[in-house]
Amino acid sequence: MKAFVEKWWLKVLIGFAVVVVAIQFVPYGVDNPPVTDGPEWDSDRTRELFDRACADCHSDRTNVLWFEHIAPVKWYVANHVKEGREALDVSTWHTDAGSELDDLTESIEEREMPPSYYTYFGLHPGAKLTDTESRQLIDGLKATVAADPPATRER
Ligand code: HEC
């Protein structure tokens, strides 16, 4: 018994492991409802750039990486995707495309989007747009919005 008490760190470790396993059962994560809507993209290029740099957080086509299935990272990602979709969601373009569409292209121009943390540790390398690619995405989004305006909903 004494030997076990002395191994206090073992108890801490077991306690920690129990908590880590238990939190995996909290049913909060990214959901990807079936996609039935989307903008008429002005070109395949715009869609490709959007998919590379924005779609994970601003559509219902979120690609969740393996370690992002593990709580608490899972909750963190789910929360970001939720907030991102509230601001802008191309998968509900004709019903409720989001509350912050006014800043759509400024967010790229000012390099606020995609958020810097998205490409930390070499993650999502395709989202690091060059100046030319940023320009193409900005122009493409403007053309897309002009030809197929998104629907906004009063909140
Ligand atoms: C890793 C997730 C993620 C990616 C990738 C991402 N966004 Fe966002 N975006 C968010 C979140 C979260 C918010 C809401 C909170 C905030 O403003 O930071 C947001 C907000 C916005 C807004 C609302 C205005 C603003 O700046 O807050 C716009 C417009 C936007 N994003 C456009 C884009 C575009 C365009 C891309 C691709 C170039 C992109 N986002 C990529 C997560 C993301």
Nearest CA to ligand 1 atom 26: 107
Using 50, 70 and 90 to split pLDDT, how confident is the model at 135?
very high
CA of 107 to the centre of ligand 1 (A): 7
Ligand 1 lined by 48 (C-beta under 6 Å): no
Residue boundaries of the structural domains of the chain: 2-147
Ligand 1 lined by 118 (C-beta under 6 Å): yes
Which amino acid would we find at residue 136? Q
What does the pLDDT read at residue 152?
85
What average pLDDT score do residues 95-103 get?
A: 93
Supply the DSSP string of the chain, one letter for each residue: -HHHHH-HHHHHHHHHHHHHHHHTTS------PPP------S-HHHHHHHHHHTHHHHSS-----GGGGSTTHHHHHHHHHHHHHHH--GGGTTT---S-GGGTTHHHHTT-SS-GGGGGGG-SGGG---HHHHHHHHHHHHHHHHHSPPP----
Tens digits of residue pLDDT in 40-91: 999 999 999 999 999 999 999 999 999 999 999 999 999 999 999 999 999 9
Q: In the predicted model, what is the mean pLDDT of the chain?
A: 94
Q: Is there a contact between 83 and 56 (Cβ–Cβ < 8 Å)?
A: no
Give percent of the chain above pLDDT 70: 95
Nearest CA to ligand 1 atom 42: 84
What does the pLDDT read at residue 3?
66
Ligand 1 lined by 87 (C-beta under 6 Å): yes
